[in-house]
Amino acid sequence: KAGVTQTPRYLIKTRGQQVTLSCSPISGHRSVSWYQQTPGQGLQFLFEYFSETQRNKGNFPGRFSGRQFSNSRSEMNVSTLELGDSALYLCASSRAGGQEETQYFGPGTRLLVL
């Protein structure tokens, strides 16, 4: 079974631009979560989508948004990029997003904002 895939793997943007990252979950998985990993903060939860609805949200500004499509694929958008948005963005999928379900992570998209 194919794992979680994320595209693109690497991205360079400049301040003020916007960016869209994509995540394809494991087949049959309907829950997709997004995390930001930075050296100082570790992994921080951004949001979780299930059946095209955002169910849970972390403490990030409104510049960070996402959506999920009917095939469970998800996109994350960051508008008006800031230098501090440089990070590894990880998505994870699970069947239904239950607390004790294992989340399977993709390899991440490394974003560099110049």
Partner 1 sequence: DQQVKQNSPSLSVQEGRISILNCDYTNSMFDYFLWYKKYPAEGPTFLISISSIKDKNEDGRFTVFLNKSAKHLSLHIVPSQPGDSAVYFCAASAGPGFQKLVFGTGTRLLVSP
- Residue 81: strand, helix, or coil: coil
56 binds partner 1 (CB under 8 A): yes
Minimum Å distance from CB 57 to partner 1?
A: 9
**Which residue has tokens 């360079």?**
12
Name the one range near partner 1 by CB under 8 A: 11-19, 63-71, 77-85, 95-103. Answer: 95-103
Nearer to partner 1, 70 or 100 (CB): 100
Q: How far apart are CA 10 and CA 114, in angstroms?
A: 14
CA distance 60 to 36: 10
Closest CA to 48 of 62, 66, 64, 23: 66
Look up residue 68 and give its amino acid. Answer: Q
- Given candidates 55, 71, 80, 82, which one binds partner 1 under the rule CB under 8 A? 55
Number of Cβ within 10 Å of residue 22's Cβ equals 15
| Residue 78 interacts with partner 1 (CB under 8 A): yes or no | no
The site that binds partner 1 (CB under 8 A) totals a number of residues, namely 30
Closer to partner 1 by Cβ: residue 15 or 55: 55
Rule CB under 8 A: which residues touch partner 1? 4, 31, 33, 35, 40-45, 48, 50, 55-56, 58, 90, 92, 94, 97-108
